[in-house]
Amino acid sequence: MNPTVVVFDIGGVLIDWNPAYLYRKLLPDEAAVSAFLGEVCTSAWNEQFDAGRPFAEGIAALGERHPERVALIEAYWLRWHEMLGGEVAGTAEILRLLKTVGVPVHAISNWSAETFPRAKDIYPFLGLFDVLVVSGTEKLVKPDAAIFNRFLERAGVRAEECIFIDDNAANIAAAAALGFHTEHFRTAEALEARLTALGLLAHVEEATA
């Protein structure tokens, strides 16, 4: 069966987020940025916030290990909004179109419960989702099957009814294993073509004709 429900990831699909955007302002060159994000404020360190750890706790613990970098570490929270690079071109418009024609649109996102409200203030389209599952609130993270099952229970849908869109291959594989249709996100154009082929955006053309 073709899917009738669209489930978005957010970071990397709808919003461009990258800590390097901030640290390029604070460190002298690209090599220093890469070293800092590879050795101090690493992706693994950030993932604990996606899993529900408070920023204050994680920053304090890391600052004790790197006392000479405390100001840079604290900037991860204080200047977090400077890691946002804007909307990913085209995908928010696809979300709005799906919503306009009545296709159910949901989201499953690995995101801190503390910073997600800040993102929502900047990007009002994040309020369009019918069901939104944020990892930091649930204390469950992709690609763990538990967060997908939490979403299915909350939305009252079956995996085979949904197409899940994510830029992360591991998350796509986890969703596929549970029976979701999937789209490994690359561009809005490719996503639009896939959703049109599935009939999910065909109604948009009819509505605007």
pLDDT tens digits for range 45-55: 999 999 999 99
Q: Which residue, among 116, 168, 102, 176, has the nearest Cα to 145 in the 3D structure?
A: 176
> Is 202 a residue whose pLDDT tops 80?
no
Average pLDDT over residues 15-34: 98
pLDDT of 208: 47
Average pLDDT over residues 72-94: 97
Average pLDDT over residues 135-158: 98
Question: What one-character DSSP code corresponds to residue 79?
Answer: T
Question: Please, what is the Cα angle at 126 between 121 and 127, to 5 degrees?
Answer: 90
CB-CB neighbours of 31 under 10 Å: 9
The model carries a pTM of 0.93
Alpha carbon of 91 to those of 12, 37, 189, 191: distances in Å? 10, 28, 9, 8
